[in-house]
Amino acid sequence: MINGHGSATLCSLAGNKALPYSPELERAIVTALVLRPEMLGRAAALEADSFADLHMRAIWCALLNVQARGEVVNATSVIDELAKTTPAISPAEVGAMLLDGHGEPDEDRFDTATRAVAAMYRARVAALEVEALTTELIAPFESPAFPAATYLMDIDRRRNEPWISLALGDETLAELRPGNIALLIGGTGRGKTTLALS
């Protein structure tokens, strides 16, 4: 509950990326709101996606649905709403969650927990954006025409092999190790293909 201590842990939300969330804080926020729905205004920084735990997200949505209809928000109304929208969450689970609470929710701790969960959500969004941008930038190099990762592993595997001269006639243009890549740039008819095939 809010009066206890929640710890941030890592969850895998996208592939193998470890992303921050705190099941204890998410549970504490939702429990506090079921017990004291008038505190909902203090959680304006949160939205459904702020909750990484899908059960806490469903309970949050049920809470908002009950409130939006102008009904009294309490354990019974939230359980009834969950029975309609998310039957996978049993009344026993919500009841156990409320029984696990440590008395009246403390407003200062509630505010701190809300800020922490909102910050963890922003961190998850930022991590997923970085992953998407990185994938977008790397994708052209991962195409069958240029499998960058394969070339890099091949270069690294051959790092202790002897150098090979890339020569044009008697002139050495560069020294490369087997597996290295040399870019040939020049105008049409300047001998790029001939050099590459020699």
- Domain-located, residue 4: no
pLDDT at site 4? 37
Q: How many CB atoms lie within 10 A of CB 20?
A: 19
Span 103-111, average pLDDT: 79
Helix and strand numbers (H, E) in the chain are: 7, 4
The pTM is what? 0.59
- Domain-located, residue 186: yes
State whether 157 and 130 are in the same domain: no
44 or 10, higher pLDDT: 44
The domain in which residue 171 lies consists of 148-197
State whether 125 and 159 are in the same domain: no
If pLDDT is split at 50, 70 and 90, which confidence band does 158 have? Answer: confident
- Domain-located, residue 53: yes
Half-sphere exposure of 20 (CA within 13 A, CB side): 16
Which residues, in sequence order, are CB contacts of 68 under 8 Å at separation 6+?
none
- Domain-located, residue 3: no
Q: Which residue has the tokens 């939006």?
A: 68
| pLDDT exceeds cutoff 50 at 189 | yes
pLDDT at site 103? 57
Summarize pLDDT for 58-88 with one digit per residue, the tens. 999 999 999 999 999 988 999 999 888 888 8
State whether 73 and 157 are in the same domain: no
Number of domains in the chain: 2
